[in-house]
Amino acid sequence: MNIAARAMTTSAQIVKVALGSRAYDIHVGRGLLARAGDLFAPVLKQRRGFIVTDATVAALYLEPLTANLKASGIRTDHVIVPAGEATKSFAHLEKALDAMLAAKCERHTMIVALGGGVIGDLAGFAASILLRGVDFIQIPTTLLSQVDSSVGGKTGINTIAGKNLVGSFHQPRLVLADTDVLATLPRRELLAGYAEVAKYGLLGDAAFWSWLEKNANIALGGDDQAHDTLRQAIVTSCEAKARIVAADEKESSERALLNLGHTFGHAFEAEMGYGGELLHGEAVAMGMVMAFDISARLGLCPPTDVDRIRAHLKAIGLPVDPPRQGPHGTITAARLMEHMTQDKKMKDGALTFVLARGIGSAFLTNEVPAAKVQETLTAALSA
């Protein structure tokens, strides 16, 4: 169903991820936390769960969730870890696993990730190695995690060598994306998540992009009308991701399109550090502008598309020009190039880039001349 047709319905709330015996549903809508017990029931092998959450989310949503599960006869234990990217570490993975074992989790106990992408990645990875692998449910509570990280089964932690370098593919059994919880999300985090929504339009769906240009302000408005529009945007994003993941679960080809803007973005994130100066989605927003800019410089995409993308992301409130100063001083194209060549997507010494022939027409290539990358970075840093 296209987005215009969906606008006239209110029922399109379940997206299916077609992965055979590992298939699962993504529920998107209001009030899902309050129905968690009923929604969990079909995928539980035991009426027991173990919740992993962070301190911020715990204060808001742990009690309502556990109360609802208890009312449905589902007993839970939990561990609360600190909020923030630093929690995606060996130390907190160990803490989470120790807590699960101390609570005597069994092979049939359901692990539940309640939080943003940090919690989903950490809890999912813990579930994939606890007792050689147990089931888990994602309850994503940020926009970014609802449209991206909770879907597709990538889990993992960071190490001193870089982000997400240790992890596994482990698909959840169910995803509950409750749009009500986004009401407490700081505006900056909401916008950062919106960058990943915009990504789906830019990479493969020009009609969705045009719809977003008209409707994003409504979707991010925070009122009742916002919920319906935001749900449509989340459902369309999850459908796009589900389609790609079903076609290429382990990222041997097409799934890499989801990295649009990430090669540039990751270099800026690495340069700025992971302390919250530059959020992942903000880095992706500026990285997407640069991916289209380099495509235009290579004569692949109309320069007017670059202007259109910049204008929309800026109007929404996302940063489109990269920072000039970081914790290590002035950010230079040379330093960014160095980060890029450490990227885990290097193949035989060449970087894989997601470029575009226009809005909605992204493709993969590892034949981008280093001089063009340097030129694009230099232009962005002097914009």
Is residue 29 within the footprint of ligand NAD (CB under 6 A)?
no
CB of 201 to ligand GLY, least distance (A): 16
Select the binding partner of residue 255 from ligand NAD, ligand GLY, none (C-beta < 5 to 8 A, by kind): ligand GLY
Q: Which of 232, 254, 146, 225 is nearest to 190 (CA)?
A: 146
Count of residues binding ligand NAD (CB under 6 A)?
29
- What minimum distance in Å lies between the beta carbon of 121 and ligand NAD? 5
Single out the residue of 48, 88, 310, 312 in contact with ligand NAD (rule: CB under 6 A): 88
Among 154, 173, 231, 310, binds ligand NAD (CB under 6 A): 154
Angstrom distance (rounded) from CA 138 to CA 53: 11
Q: Which of 370, 359, 231 is nearest to 298 (CA)?
A: 370
CB of 221: closest distance to ligand NAD in angstroms? Answer: 17
- Rounded CA separation 340/323 (Å): 17
Q: Which is nearer to ligand NAD, 184 or 253 (CB)?
A: 184
Does 149 participate in binding ligand NAD (rule CB under 6 A)?
A: yes
Q: Which of 176, 195, 226, 258 binds ligand GLY (CB under 6 A)?
A: 258
Smallest distance, ligand NAD to C-beta of residue 185, A? 4
Length, in residues, of the chain: 383
Which residue's CB is nearer to ligand GLY, number 255 or number 297?
Answer: 255
Q: Is 92 in the site for ligand GLY (CB under 6 A)?
A: no
Q: Which residue, among 120, 157, 96, has the nearest Cα to 26 in the 3D structure?
A: 120
Using CA atoms, how far apart are residues 245 and 229, in angstroms rounded to an integer?
A: 24
**Residues involved in catalysis:** 132, 154, 196, 241, 251, 255, 259, 262, 266, 280
Nearer to ligand NAD, 148 or 271 (CB): 148
**Pairwise CA distance, residues 319 & 328, whole Å:** 21
Q: Does 83 bind ligand NAD (CB under 6 A)?
A: yes
Kindly report the three-state secondary structure assignment for every residue of 15-45. Answer: EEECCHHHCEEEEEECCCHHHHHHHHHHHCC
Q: Which residues pair with 168 in a beta bridge?
A: 155
For the purposes of burial, counting CB atoms within 10 Å of the CB of 369, is it exposed (0-12), middle (13-18) or buried (19 or more)? exposed
Task: Using the minimum distance from each CB to ligand NAD, give the nearer residue, 57 or 355.
Answer: 57
Does residue 116 interact with ligand NAD by CB under 6 A?
Answer: yes
Rg (CA), the chain: 20
Is residue 114 a contact partner of residue 57, using CB atoms and an 8 Å limit?
Answer: yes
Sequence-ordered list of residues with C-beta below 8 angstroms from that of 44, at least 6 positions apart, any chain: 74, 110
| Contact between 134 and 168 (Cβ < 8 Å) | no
| 372 interacts with ligand GLY by CB under 6 A | no
Q: Does 48 bind ligand GLY (CB under 6 A)?
A: no
Task: Give the binding range for ligand GLY (CB under 6 A) out of 157-165, 200-208, 224-232, 251-259.
Answer: 251-259
Smallest separation, CB 196 to ligand NAD (Å) = 7
Residue in the block written with tokens 């989903």: 120
Footprint of ligand NAD on this chain (CB under 6 A)? 54, 56-57, 60, 83-85, 88, 115-119, 121, 141-142, 144-145, 148-149, 152, 154, 163-164, 181, 184-185, 189, 280
